[in-house]
Amino acid sequence: MNQRLKAWHIASASILMLGFLDTTVLAQTPTATEDRLRQLEQTAALAQTSGDNAWMLTCAALVLMMTGPGLALFYGGLVRRKNVLATMMQSFTLMAVVTVLWALYGYTFAFGSWNWFIGDLRYALMHGVGAIPNATYAPTIPQQTFMVYQLMFAIITPALITGAFAERMKFSAMLVFMILWSTFVYFPLAHMVWGDGGLLNATLAGRIPTLDFAGGTVVHISSGISALICALYIGKRIGFPQQAMKPHNLTLSFIGACLLWVGWFGFNAGSALAANSLATSAFVATHFASAAAALGWVAVEWIRLGKPTVLGAISGAVAGLVAITPGAGFVTPMAALIIGVAAGAICYFMTSSVKRHFGYDDSLDVFGIHGAGGTLGALLTGIFATRAVNPIFKDAPVGLLDGHAAQLFNQGVGVLVAIIIAAVGSLIILKLVDVTIGLRVTREDEITGLDISQHGEEGYELVG
């Protein structure tokens, strides 16, 4: 209502202004000066909305690009040739399915306000989500822009999980699992961290203020932990790990990873929700962390195995992007370098040594990169966050090195809550889908490949 009045004022002020243009004598009176000031203020506000909205729409598009084609190419190249289309199809399908869920009830569950765990139905079916900004979240852009930007996060999170059960899950089971997972894991978790009154929200009356600038807990820990549960529940691929399951086309993965890197600027810098200096800071931190992580991963690999690999470089870059996600808008460029190099080295050990030791088949290393990188990033955010970058608690210190040790504890609680919700939620949903329609394709279908068995198509027709 307030916003509507404001818009009416802008319109009326503009008309008044036109009237004043040729009667400048009147402009000398106090009333005229006031009008003129108000008119100037409103023009400035409009200009800001225009700039912020342009940036945020661009960011929304960038984040969608991370899923398709970014993640689809990255994952598609990592699987065997007979599963390339099925893998891409999973990401692409989620672009469509989650969009519909978001429009119907996802947005309102995440960003309505009701209790610590979930939002109410105030925005159900896009009710009241239009041109007028939602002052609680992003006061300078239309709520529709905020809504569609957040939607892109809801799309990529389940798409990340598909890497864990790649090459063996039924398409129908994937579909049902993801609908339930979005509804009972993602929407509540997004509400808890970002929603008004959410349990972990740092600024909007949360019980345990957890810093998560762009989705370290909501996106990466939730998808990474769920991925591990999926991999454990559904079991190994036939032949794993005795049989070599080489990536069939690393050039596709390379292109995908580069698109992820670029798209991540929308993801992290866009999370400033305005075209301001915080966005710049997050942009720089994101870029620095990714670069340092690529180097960190490759360095460890080069020392241990004698060769710097392309897959190592691109995996490292993604690990760095994951790890900087929660802290992007809170840490300095130098802290970003440290977070990045740590993520590169640690995620390398997670995907090689740790995975081999325990023997689970997290096929495309969703847990090793997103689960581990996200957890690392969330904790390091508690250490490196500083009010010099983002005075989120007014003048009070933010992270451990800033003089607020309790934040590290809060981050730990946030991580734990995300892990529990993701693990328990995923396990129940997997069980449910398993006993109803079954999770896994038949042995024959798995050996034939999902492209033919699930979709009746092949990715490559090299002759003819």
User: First-to-last CA distance in the chain?
Assistant: 63
Find the part of the chain contacting another protein (CB under 8 A) among 61-69, 124-132, 147-155, 240-248. Answer: 240-248
Name the residue among 261, 191, 226, 209 with its Cα closest to residue 370.
Answer: 226
User: Which two tokens mark 23?
Assistant: 């009667």
One residue of 1, 5, 244, 462 binding another protein per CB under 8 A: 244
Residue at 126: amino acid letter: M
Is 53 near another protein (CB under 8 A)?
A: no
DSSP state of 125: G
Supply the minimum distance, in Å, between the C-beta of residue 157 and another protein.
22
Find the part of the chain contacting another protein (CB under 8 A) among 9-17, 171-179, 348-356, 390-398. Answer: 348-356
Is 312 near another protein (CB under 8 A)?
A: yes
User: Which two tokens mark 2?
Assistant: 């307030």
What residues pair up with 138 in beta bridges, in sequence order? 134
Is 353 near another protein (CB under 8 A)?
A: yes
Supply the minimum distance, in Å, between the C-beta of residue 365 and another protein.
6
Is residue 213 within 8 A of residue 282, CB to CB? The reply is: yes
Is 431 near another protein (CB under 8 A)?
A: no
Rounded alpha-carbon distances, angstroms, from residue 326 to 267, 282, 304: 11, 10, 30
Is 309 near another protein (CB under 8 A)?
A: yes
Nearest to another protein of 340, 425 (CB atom): 340
Is 254 near another protein (CB under 8 A)?
A: no
**To 5 degrees, how large is the angle CA 103–CA 107–CA 108?**
110
One residue of 351, 381, 390, 426 binding another protein per CB under 8 A: 351
One residue of 69, 206, 247, 382 binding another protein per CB under 8 A: 247
**To 5 degrees, how large is the angle CA 154–CA 142–CA 43?**
150
Q: What number of chain residues touch another protein (CB under 8 A)?
A: 21
Is 305 near another protein (CB under 8 A)?
A: yes
Is 357 near another protein (CB under 8 A)?
A: no
Rounded alpha-carbon distances, angstroms, from residue 15 to 5, 27, 317, 447: 15, 15, 53, 71
Is 149 near another protein (CB under 8 A)?
A: no
Nearest to another protein of 55, 297 (CB atom): 297
Name the residue among 212, 233, 265 with its Cα closest to residue 424.
Answer: 233
Phi first, then psi, for residue 231 (nearest 5°) are: -60, -40
Binding residues vs another protein (CB under 8 A): 241, 244, 246-247, 301, 304-305, 307, 309, 311-312, 315, 348-349, 351-353, 355-356, 365, 368
